Each structure stands twice: as structure tokens, then as C-alpha cells.
Structure 1
Amino acid sequence: MAALGDLIQIDDGTVLVCGQELDVGRGQPDVANALVHRVGDTLVLVDTGVTAAFRAALREATERVGHWSRALVLTTHGHLDHVGNNDLADELGVPVEHYVPALDLDQMRDPASYWVRSFERIAGLAPLPAPPVLAGQVVSLFQPMRPFGATTRTYEERPLEGIRIGSLRFTGWTFADGAVRVLRSQGHCAGHVIVHLSDCGVLHLSDEGNGPCGAMADADQLKIQTVLGAVALLFEEGEATLLTDGHTFAVRRGAEVVPYLEGLLEQATALQEAALGLTGESGQVRPSAFTTRYAEAAAELGVGGANPNAMFAAMMAVNQLRELGLRPESGDVDAPWSRPPLHNP
């Protein structure tokens, strides 16, 4: 099991810096993995994690990849565990560009409000404090939190590009003469991107593979599943050979990648089928009861995901109800959910 700050050497110019899992009870923030890569004379950092210890590991990794005279810092999305050390860009001592997704700026500026919105949906569904209290507790774990630097800009300030990789077409942005491709995915949260490093064959999925059902309020289940299928095809066509992500602390290579991604897609369909069965013939269910049974079904199916806990299980359950087309019948805590009538009464 990797420990916080462990370095996995992928090749002479590429290092995966390992993070850690979330443990709110122990006051431990989750820290996302980061990629450190050199292409030509350019240092590429994909995410910066959080905590001073992880920052030190990032600095060590930048010394392992060879000489560089400029730097490119790429933020895959605005969640706290990915952005806390972004101001490291200001300390590299070379010309730097730093890009973040425009759709995630609000949560980066005001993470407490973002998490309150996510937790309000599960009030009463899990034995958790009130949403503002819980959001404050979670956000306070991620220190120091410096998501912006002097050079920070949004990707969307650059012209959007059509990017062809093998038989697939994406939209996004390219850097380092096309060796670094930032591809829009927007499934795990509103602004999410994935990163393809073509010269070393690495595809960094970041958090798009965090389980078969996205948990956050701005998650898009269709986009998650679409990007998993697209990335599997990139590996089938040999356009990528190594898969990294934000939270599994490993490098997946070659033939193991496609079965892994197909497994996530199979889990998504199996979990949705199980959820459909839990709503019963009436199509009406109380979310508290559904959440308990949904977590049991996920365990029976062997469905995991990053940072499994009651909080994220409840968030996934609410998203799954919406994915099935159910809506709350009122604003009361634990009000029944059902399908809206197809015809006006």
C-alpha cells in the first residue's frame, strides 16, 4: 500500500506522486495523486494535491525528471484534494503557465458553499452533522489551501481545439507542440478534464474513474461512462499504454487497462439495475431506506470507489435516484421520491 508522498517512477521523465485516502474521523484529508512529467525543456505538473508533506514530495519528483527551463501546471478539476499546492507554480523559478477549469472557479474560491450544496442533498440520510457543520469540518482538513498562483488562468481563455487521437475526436487544448493534450470530460464534476501525455503513453484519468456512480452534486453519470468507454478505446488502439488516476495509487499497464475500465462500466449498469429493483413496483421510495439498501447492494456487487464511507454512499444513492428519473415529492427531510406523472392531472 502506497503512503503519502511515495514516488512511482514511470520512466526517466515521468513520476506518479501518491496521495492518501480521506479519514474525516482521524482528521486526515484525502490527497489526490499528481503526475510530474518532462517533455523537452518543459516540466508538466498534473494536479498538486494538498498538505506540506505532499508539496515536498512534488518538489522531489521535479528533480527526478531531468533538466527543465519552463513549466506547465494543469489542474484537472477544482476539488480540494487536487488544488491545495497550486501556488507551487510561483516557486519554480522559471516561466510558468497554470490552467484551471472555468466551471470549477466558484468552488475553488468558496469550497465551503460547494460542499454545503453537496451535503444538503443527504441531510437525514446518514448519521452526519448538519450540512454547514459537516462542510466546515471537511474543508478545514485541507490546509494549506492555495488554489491560485500569480500565473493562473482558465483553460477556456484559450481557443477550444478539436483533438483527434486514433479514431476518436475530443475537444480541449494542446500544449508542448501537441505532446500534452487536455481533454474535456466533465463527468466527476462540472469542469473536469483528463490529460494525455502522448510521448510516454500515459493517460491520466484523474477522478473520472472514482467508482461507477459519481457522488458530487455536479456529477454527470453519462459523461463519466462515456469517457470511460472512450479511454478504453484509446488503449485498445494503442494510443495510450499506461493509465493513472487520482486515487488508486497505482500505474495500470497495457492489457490490464481495458478489462479494468470495462469492469467499471459493468459495475455501473449492475448497480443501476439493483437500484431499479430497490424502488419497487410502485416506483416510490424513501431515500433513507433506499440509501441503506443501496449501500448493501453495492457491497454485494463488490462495487468500491475512492474513499468509501457513509457520506459518499449517501451522495451516490441520491444521484442514483435522480438517474432513475425519481424526484422528491416535497422538501421535507426524507420525503418520498417517485417518478413525476407523465400527464397533467
Structure 2
Amino acid sequence: MTALGDLIEIDDRTVLVLGQELDVEHDQPDVANALVHRVGDTLVMIDTGVTAAFRAALRDAADRVGPWSRALVLTTHGHPDHVGNNDLADELGVPVEHYVPALDLDQMRDPASYWVRSFDRITGLPPLPAPPAATAGKVVSLFQPMRPFGATTRTYEERPLERIRIGSLRFTGWTFADGAVRVLRSQGHCAGHVIVYLGDCGVLHLSDEGNGACGAMVDADQLKIQTVLGAVCRLFEEGEAVLLTDGHTCAVRRSAEAVTHLDGLLDQATALQAAALDLTREYGRIRPSTFTTRYAEAIADLRVEGANPNPMFTAMMAVNELRELGLRPESDDADAPWSRPALYDPGPAVTATEPGAVQS
């Protein structure tokens, strides 16, 4: 049994700091795992979680991997469970660089509006306990203290974009510590998401790109999620990466186990989309409430796994799946039916008596 702030020692220079699951009913925020590593004299901290207890655990992990005389703090994306203690970068007492994705700045500045956008899509579905604004306010209030920025914070995009080759694969992103730390753009789980590769110890930190078979958030991109999972799988098959960590499971997966896990996520994604497609064929036009209920049953039947499973996120996944299949709402009404838009509209027939008509 693990607890918030527990440390998993990967090697004498690398520690995974464990977070916790979201439990809105009991006022418990989810806290993302953080990875703490030392390369040379540089402390590398990947995400900072949230809560004072997790902040203390980060300091313990930093002490464990020492000694270091400079620091690099990397934010994988802007969700509150990953950024609450970002101002810790300013308190490390050494020269420090801190980077966040530019595409996530708006949600970091105003997380409530971001969550309202995500919850608006499931208005009228049973899983939402209150109107979107109230639900968003409740969720955001759990993440305290929330300090996503500090004096040292900059965006990755202020640095020149680099073409990064790892084995046979090409990525774009940014390198640090003479190339030992590589930040790779993925942008699937949300708009600004990055993953981090530590070349000196072979650790690939997937953060939240592997959270489940279908991205839930309003800015999730299913193609990018699946593409990055496939690319990371290839890195393990080629031996370029040897250990897989992520933002929400307690596992450190090695080589073949990582490949099996990543292949499993892709298999679940395709199986779940196939089940969703069958549902839309069965009903033709379908209300999100009906689809969400059946979609949840498919998740259970297929034993699809994911981080922070709860009815709200299932409903958000369901709406994203409908869009992924090409369906669109027929109106703006809550729980309006979704259907496929017509592909061809021939328009009104032309008669022989209309001006410009061709006589046969």
C-alpha cells in the first residue's frame, strides 16, 4: 500500500515521488507523480505536484539524489495536479531554470475556466454533480496551495526548437544538460504536453500521455496520444529507453514490461473505439447520456484501465469518443442527439422552366 509522498528509488540518482488519486467526494485532490534526478551537478525535477505534504516529499527526494549545485525544473503540462508547487524552483538556493509549455499558460493562469470548458460538454449527463461553473470551482478549490509560476519560470518555446534523434526515431523539442535531458513534444493529453527522456539512465517519463485509452480533456488529441505511445514503445524495443515512469501509476516498468504496457494501452484504445462504433451503428443517432452509460459498460467489459477513474471523466471520454468517430450534436441543447453530418446535399432539383435550365 502506497501513500502520498512515498519514494521509489530507481537508482542512487533517480527517485519517483508518488502522488495520489482524485476523490472529489472526500475533498482529496489528485497529485501527480514527480520524477527527481541528478545529472552531474544538476538537480532535475519533473513536475511538482500539489499540497504542502508533497512539497516536503520533493525536498526529501532532492536531498536523496544530491549533491547538486544547480537545478532544472520541468513542467510536463499545466494541469493543477502537476504544477501546484512550481514556485519551489525559486526556493532551492541554487541557480535554477524552470520551464512550462506555452500552450498551457492560459489554463495555468485560470484553471477554473479551463475546467468549465471541459465540463460544459457533459452538461445534462448524470455524472456532473452541479452546473459546470460550480463543479469546476469545486474541483479547482481542492488544489491548494496553487503556485504554478515563480520568478524563474519561462516557457520552453522561448528556446529554439530542436530536432532530436533517439535511435531510429525523430522528435522535436528541447535538450538540457548537454543533451542528457531531452524534452519531447507530445501534445496529446492536453495542448502543451511534453514527455521527458533521461538519456544517462534510460528513463522515459510519459507523464499523463498514458492515462487511458481515450483522452478526457477538452484539448486532448487522440491521434497524438496514440502516436506518442507507439513511438515510446519503439524506443523500448530498440533499447534506447529501459525504464518507463508516468504521472499516475505507482509502477516503474522495465523494458519488455514497458512494451507490453504500452501495447496494451493501444489495444485498449482500438478495442474501445470499436465498441463505441458498434454503439453508434446500433442507434444511428444517439444521445450522449445513453452513449455514456453504454460506453461505461464497454469500459468495464473490456477491462480498460486509466488514471483517476470516476463517472465525470468517463463522460468526458465518451463525448471525445463521439467526436473522434465523426459524430456531431444536432443542436446546442443539453443532451441533444448526436449523429453523422450528411456528406452530400444535392440541393433543389433544377426544372426545365427555370431560367438557365437545359432542355433535354
Percent identical = 83
- Per the TM alignment, residue 66 of structure 1 is displaced from its structure 2 partner at its CA by 1.8
1:155-201 deviations in Å (ceiling 9; x for gaps): 00000000000000000000000000000000000000000000011
C-alpha separation in 1, matches of 2:211 and 2:255: 20
C-alpha separation in 2, matches of 1:248 and 1:15: 14
Q: Which residue of 1 aligns with 2:36?
A: 36
C-alpha separation in 2, matches of 1:206 and 1:118: 20
Question: What is the 5 A alignment of 1:289-328?
Answer: 289-328=290-329
Q: Which residue of 1 aligns with 2:55?
A: 55
Give the TM-score of the pair, scaled to structure 1. Answer: 0.99
Does structure 1 residue 147 correspond to structure 2 residue 148?
yes
2:281 match: secondary structure: coil
- Per the TM alignment, residue 2 of structure 1 is displaced from its structure 2 partner at its CA by 1.7
1:315-342 deviations in Å (ceiling 9; x for gaps): 0000000000000000001100001110
Q: Which residue of 1 aligns with 2:8?
A: 8
Letter in 1 for 2:298: A
2:233 match: secondary structure: helix
C-alpha separation in 2, matches of 1:130 and 1:262: 38
Q: Which residue of 1 aligns with 2:342?
A: 341
Q: Which residue of 2 aligns with 1:17?
A: 17
Q: Which residue of 2 aligns with 1:267?
A: 268
1:45 match: secondary structure: strand
C-alpha separation in 1, matches of 2:40 and 2:227: 32
2:165 match: secondary structure: strand
C-alpha separation in 2, matches of 1:280 and 1:232: 32
Q: What stretches of structure 1 move > 6 A for 4+ residues in a row?
A: none
- Per the TM alignment, residue 283 of structure 1 is displaced from its structure 2 partner at its CA by 2.8
C-alpha separation in 2, matches of 1:183 and 1:314: 30
Q: Identify which range, 249-258 or 281-290, moves more after superposition.
A: 281-290
Give the TM-score of the pair, scaled to structure 2. Answer: 0.95
C-alpha separation in 2, matches of 1:174 and 1:266: 32
1:76-120 deviations in Å (ceiling 9; x for gaps): 000000000000001000000000000000000000000000000
Cα RMSD after superposing both structures: 0.7
Evaluate the alpha carbon distance shift between residue 24 and residue 282 of structure 1 in structure 2; reply closer, same or farther with a 3 A threshold: closer
C-alpha separation in 1, matches of 2:252 and 2:98: 25
C-alpha separation in 2, matches of 1:145 and 1:249: 24
Does structure 1 residue 109 correspond to structure 2 residue 109?
yes
Q: Which residue of 1 aligns with 2:355?
A: none
1:216-268 deviations in Å (ceiling 9; x for gaps): 00000000000000000000000000000000022111211101100000000
Letter in 2 for 1:41: D
Evaluate the alpha carbon distance shift between residue 282 and residue 310 of structure 1 in structure 2; reply closer, same or farther with a 3 A threshold: closer
Letter in 1 for 2:25: G
Q: Which residue of 2 aligns with 1:126?
A: 126
Question: What is the 5 A alignment of 1:227-242?
Answer: 227-242=228-243
C-alpha separation in 2, matches of 1:159 and 1:283: 48
Q: Which residue of 1 aligns with 2:356?
A: none
2:196 match: secondary structure: strand
Question: What is the 5 A alignment of 1:274-293?
Answer: 274-281=275-282, 283-293=284-294
Structure number, greater radius of gyration: 2
C-alpha separation in 2, matches of 1:129 and 1:6: 34
2:274 match: secondary structure: helix
1:38 match: secondary structure: strand
Q: How many residues align?
A: 345
Name structure 2 gaps, 5 residues minimum.
Answer: 348-360
C-alpha separation in 2, matches of 1:282 and 1:52: 49
Letter in 1 for 2:239: G
1:280 match: secondary structure: helix
- Per the TM alignment, residue 141 of structure 1 is displaced from its structure 2 partner at its CA by 0.1
Letter in 2 for 1:32: A
Letter in 2 for 1:279: T
C-alpha separation in 1, matches of 2:339 and 2:170: 38
C-alpha separation in 2, matches of 1:249 and 1:92: 26
Question: What is the 5 A alignment of 1:162-181?
Answer: 162-181=163-182
- Per the TM alignment, residue 281 of structure 1 is displaced from its structure 2 partner at its CA by 4.7
